[in-house]
């Protein structure tokens, strides 16, 4: 029996039309794309909640003046502020998190405050306000976690699932959406490789065999919005994603970008630097234990809750895999990687051109362009 597909765009539009929606972390790479796609679906209002006023200003400049967008400065660690932000809201997309593995490894107390206590704050605020549903965005790092970031995000998933069976008679539905790396997001390898290539290398890769799930932010968020209306309570929706070798990604970007910066691509070295603390060679999106209670659709898996009631998902079939790991998937070829980068507009030189202070002795003028070789 084939797995069924998710609902189409028309269904999404009808589901979100006229809703009042809060997006925490709404100025991040994923959160801001959630905002953009939601605005195309006709909500009554989208409240953008984040702690970065500069990013809020930049998003406001991008979107222009709109009566259906509100910008709220706040932190998910602050329960009283979060309660105000949730007032009158129908749906919440929770994208606020500390996401960088080394940063969480060296600052574990801060990771707990944001990724665990922040989620608990959101659950309490949503239950008090009887929000219709809360969708938390998770990560592949939660599957058999080897680092602080993954452990805190796993606990966040468990809190979301537990909220469904300890909410009493409140109507709120809590679900999670889990996916891998987002192509070109802030702090990801694509902008890093851009900068390294612009300077002539070396391009640093942790291991030549390292694989990662990778998807554009637009594709990921489209499926997040699909999953957002499918949840019945306690599920974790896992997006099916392409896999690539980071070494191949680096090689494709060097070949495409080095000549644009005036370098010979053969002379831009790719070097192995070793795994960082808490980092894995391959990533998992679903463990063997989770696969045993998972359902499958065309675009995603649905992990049913470990405890509490398990809702039916008509048309979904039992998962046909024992686990879902980047090690088990056929990685994209270099031609496919290049096509994906071109499709997402990630092989231009624009993202790494920026003004930086001149160093002493570099010549006249207080500023220079970083990255490009000038004749």
Q: HSE (CB half, 13 Å, CA atoms) of 371?
A: 21
Listed in sequence order, the residues at least 6 apart from 256 whose beta carbon sits closer than 8 Å to its beta carbon are: 338, 341, 347
- ω into 202 cis (within 30 of 0): yes
Q: Mark whether 141 is an active-site residue.
A: yes
User: Token digits for 236?
Assistant: 């974790």
Instruction: Report the relative pairing of strands 324-325 and 284-286 from DSSP bridges.
Output: antiparallel
Question: Which run of H or of E encompasses 251?
Answer: helix 246-257
Q: Which of the 8 DSSP states describes residue 69?
A: E
Residue 288 three-state SS:
helix
User: What is the DSSP annotation of 29-43?
Assistant: HHHHHHHHHHHTT--
Cβ(212)–Cβ(180) below 8 Å: yes
Least Cα distance to 96 among 41, 172, 35 occurs for 35
For residue 214, CA distances in Å to 32, 278, 331 come to 18, 19, 10
Sign of the C-alpha dihedral, residues 269, 184, 215, 341?
Answer: negative
With b meaning 16 or more CB within 10 Å and e meaning fewer, what string describes 265-293?
Answer: beebebeeeeeeebbbebbbbbbeebbee
DSSP sequence for 164-184: HTSSTT---EEEEEEE-EEET
Distance of CA 238 to the CA centre of its chain: 12
Which listed residue (55, 99, 141, 280) is catalytic? 141
Residues tagged active-site: 141
């Amino acid at each position: 029996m084939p797995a069924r597909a998710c609902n189409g765009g028309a269904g999404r539009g009808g589901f979100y039309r006229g809703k009042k929606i809060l997006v925490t972390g709404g100025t991040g790479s994923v959160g801001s794309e959630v905002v953009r796609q939601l605005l195309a679906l006709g909500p009554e209002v989208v409240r953008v909640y984040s702690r970065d006023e500069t990013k809020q200003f930049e998003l406001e400049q991008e979107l222009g003046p709109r009566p259906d967008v509100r910008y709220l400065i706040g932190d998910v660690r602050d329960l009283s502020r979060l309660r105000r932000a949730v007032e009158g809201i129908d749906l919440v997309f929770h994208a606020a998190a500390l996401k960088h593995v080394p940063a969480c490894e060296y600052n574990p107390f801060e990771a707990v405050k944001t990724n665990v206590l922040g989620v608990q704050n959101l659950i309490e605020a949503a239950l008090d306000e009887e929000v219709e549903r809360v969708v938390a965005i998770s990560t592949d790092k939660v599957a058999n976690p080897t680092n602080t970031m993954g452990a805190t995000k796993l606990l966040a998933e468990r809190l979301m699932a537990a909220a469904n069976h300890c909410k009493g008679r409140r109507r709120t539905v809590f679900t999670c959406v889990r996916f891998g790396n987002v192509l070109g997001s802030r702090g990801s390898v694509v902008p890093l490789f851009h900068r390294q290539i612009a300077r002539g290398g070396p391009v640093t890769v942790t291991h030549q065999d390292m694989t990662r799930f990778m998807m554009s932010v637009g594709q990921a968020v489209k499926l997040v919005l699909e999953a957002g209306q499918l949840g019945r309570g306690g599920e974790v929706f896992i997006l099916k994603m392409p896999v690539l070798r980071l070494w191949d990604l680096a090689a494709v970007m060097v070949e495409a970008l080095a000549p644009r910066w005036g370098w010979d691509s053969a002379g831009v070295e790719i070097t192995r630097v070793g795994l960082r603390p808490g980092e894995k060679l391959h990533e998992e999106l679903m463990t063997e234990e989770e696969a045993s209670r998972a359902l499958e659709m065309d675009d995603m898996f649905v992990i049913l809750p470990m405890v509490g009631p398990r809702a039916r998902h008509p048309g979904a079939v039992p998962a046909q895999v024992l686990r879902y790991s980047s090690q088990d998937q056929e990685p994209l070829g270099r031609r496919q990687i290049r096509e994906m980068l071109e499709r997402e507009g990630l092989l231009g030189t624009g993202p790494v051109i920026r003004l930086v202070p001149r160093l002493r002795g570099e010549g006249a003028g207080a500023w220079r362009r970083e990255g490009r070789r000038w004749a």
